[in-house]
Amino acid sequence: MLGVVLKMVVRVRVRLINEGTGHNVEVIMLVNGGAESEIPVVVVTPDIATDLGLDLSNMDLIDVELASGVTRNYISRNTILVQLLDDEGKVLSQTRVYVAVDENLTEPLMTDATIDELGIQVISFRRGLWRHTNDPPNTVRKSAK
């Protein structure tokens, strides 16, 4: 029997800004290339949504197809700003995203469309290595902790 192996994955630090409420929050977010969306989306917990001043009663309930089946999540009707941050907190890039709220989520994540919009290029998921599209070719960034 195989023992539990902890793997490094790519996580990045982002700032989520809800300009409508003036609320913002910095979080470490999983870069999840397997989470597909046609438009940029971040998926957060209800607590993070509350910290952003989002009200679930003003969001739409949608079906979300997962590899394990279909679930339902809330999704914002308006976008917020997400900023990709470096280790010193400087903004590398930013884009507008919709916010999905998943009550069963254990870790905030971004979808493939958001990854592309932010210019995140994964070098190695297993080793947690990535670079930004504007980085020199020899730059290698490590997963945020």
pLDDT digits (tens, 9 = 90+) for 72-124: 889 999 999 999 999 999 999 999 999 999 988 899 999 999 999 999 999 99
Give a yes or no: residue 143 inside a domain. no
Domain count of the chain? 1
Give a yes or no: residue 131 inside a domain. no
Give a yes or no: residue 2 inside a domain. no
Residue 75, pLDDT score:
94
Residue 57, domain extent: 11-120
- In sequence order, the β-bridge partners of residue 140 are none
Give a yes or no: residue 109 inside a domain. yes
Give a yes or no: residue 33 inside a domain. yes
Confidence category of residue 35, pLDDT binned at 50, 70, 90:
confident
Residue 16 sits in a domain whose CATH number is 2.40.70.10
Give a yes or no: residue 4 inside a domain. no
pTM: 0.90
Give a yes or no: residue 145 inside a domain. no
| Measured distance CA(67)–CA(42) in Å, rounded | 18
| Measured distance CA(28)–CA(109) in Å, rounded | 9
Give a yes or no: residue 43 inside a domain. yes
